[in-house]
Amino acid sequence: MTTTSTTVPFLDLRALHAELQDELDAAALGVLRSERVLLGPELERFESAWAQAVGAGSAVGVGSGLDALVLALRALDVGPGDEVVVPAHTFVATWLAVLHVGATPVPVDASPETGTWDVDAVAAAIGPRTRVLLPVHLYGQPVELDPLLRLAERHGLAVLDDAAQAHGARYGDRPVGGLTTLTAWSFYPGKNLGALGDGGAVTTSDPALDRRLRSLRNYGSAEKYVHTEVGWNSRLDELQAAFLSVKLARLDEHNARRARVADRYAAELAGTGLLLPATAAGTTPVWHLYVVRTPARDALREHLAAHGVETGIHYPVPCHHQAAFADSPLGRLALPGAEQLSREVLSLPMGPHLSDADQDRVIAAIKEFRP
């Protein structure tokens, strides 16, 4: 589908919904006409399909990606006095989840070359209070999990991976989502698998953690009016589950379309002086974002805007410089890798509905840019 706007959209959600309109309409009507709007058959259907898609024992649908991380940490009994190793360069929700359970995030800086954390730096961040390693498959690029899993095993730690941007990504020949103790997902509308509102899930192959998560998302209750712990109200509702089932059936195809866009960028932008995204050997990314780097980021962004090309910055302010942490020791950290990334990263238009003609406009505008 081609867009009729004169702007090249950063992500064309309208085109996605237009493509799926009939099925989304039917899904909505089905819920409207059913008796159940929460914890019903649509949720069960989606949870079992999602668990199967990612090779996990089960999936527990929750209210958002942030909730998925919070409930996963609670299910691991992480709390005050505990430390969780997180990347310095991530969306702030990764850090917020740790703070919401009363634990301390211990950020590992990003390597200025690769933009990711390296395992030696993670190992150096582990101390006597560390309970969990929390890698993030940022931009849809899978983190190399095996070295982390070995490290975690040596130190008796859990691995909770944040896969909010990595639906369908693969590590070796296995999908992300069934490889660690727990995996947290977001179904925020702009994600590769997005609802039409907020939503999230946790996948695991540990039946005890699955039971705990189901209780935690439902007021700490497995049986009506019996509350065995202090839980939350965070449930993926029937309407969102029904929409997600429609979109899940297209996830592989849409990810393949994203990969095609990424391949064209890689071929056309080589030699333009931009640092293009790198993929770890043996991993299959899902191109949630196509992020290039340049010290002239702000000028390039302005130039592209003047040519009608929308771009994004993920993320313009590193977590530790957020005002929310100004009064905390986190706000006084020096994390030069993350700081440099926040100045240099630029996300180009990306998505299954980016037309060749629109992508040509992006590429041509970049080639014209003189810093």
Ligand X SMILES: Cc1ncc(COP(=O)(O)O)c(C=O)c1O
Residue from 9, 140, 200, 351 in contact with ligand X (CB under 6 A): 200
Binding part of the chain for ligand X, among 85-93, 243-251, 289-297, 336-344 by CB under 6 A, reads 85-93
- Measured from the CB of residue 184, what is the shortest distance to ligand X in angstroms? 7
Task: By CB under 6 A, name the one of 59, 93, 209, 341 that touches ligand X.
Answer: 93
Nearer to ligand X, 138 or 209 (CB): 138
Nearer to ligand X, 312 or 349 (CB): 312
60 binds ligand X (CB under 6 A): no
One residue of 94, 255, 294, 347 binding ligand X per CB under 6 A: 94
191 flagged as catalytic: yes
Residue nearest to ligand X according to CB distances in the complex: 65
CB 350 within 8 A of CB 287: yes
> For residue 157, what is the DSSP state?
-
Q: Which stretch binds ligand X (CB under 6 A): 20-28, 58-66, 323-331, 338-346?
A: 58-66
Name the token pair of 232: 């939350």
Q: Per rule CB under 6 A, is residue 188 in the interface with ligand X?
A: yes
Binding characters for ligand X, 154-173, by CB under 6 A (x = yes): --------x-xx--------
Determine the Cα–Cα distance for residues 81 and 182; give it in Å rounded to an integer: 21
**186 near ligand X, rule: CB under 6 A:** yes
- Residue 112 corresponds to which tokens in the numbers above? 């200025």
Contact 60, 217 (CB under 8 A): yes
The identity of residue 40, as a single letter, is: G
Told to check if 344 binds ligand X by CB under 6 A, we report no
Neighbouring residues of 324: CB distance < 8 A, sequence distance ≥ 6: 92
6 membership: H or E segment, kind and range: none
Q: Which residue stretch of 21-29, 90-98, 112-120, 336-344 sits at the interface with ligand X (rule: CB under 6 A)? A: 90-98
When the beta carbons of 269 and 319 are compared against ligand X, the nearer one is 319
Beta strand segments in 19-157, E? 58-62, 83-87, 104-108, 130-133
Cα Rg of the chain (Å, integer): 21
**Which residue reads 């909010």 in tokens?**
164
Query: In this complex, which beta carbon is closest to ligand X, that of residue 143 or of residue 209?
Result: 143
To ligand X, the closest distance from the beta carbon of 161 in angstroms equals 10
Give the separation between CA 83 and CA 94, rounded to whole angstroms.
13
Closest CA to 87 of 134, 151, 139: 134
Q: Is 198 in the site for ligand X (CB under 6 A)?
A: yes
Q: Is 210 in the site for ligand X (CB under 6 A)?
A: no
Q: Which candidate, 324, 311, 326, 309, places its Cα nearest to that of 365?
A: 309
Angle at Cα 58 formed by Cα 56 and Cα 60, nearest 5°?
125
Number of residues this chain uses to bind ligand X (CB under 6 A): 15
Which residue numbers are catalytic?
191
Q: Which stretches of the chain bind ligand X, using CB under 6 A?
A: 64-66, 90-91, 93-94, 136, 162, 164-165, 186, 188, 198, 200
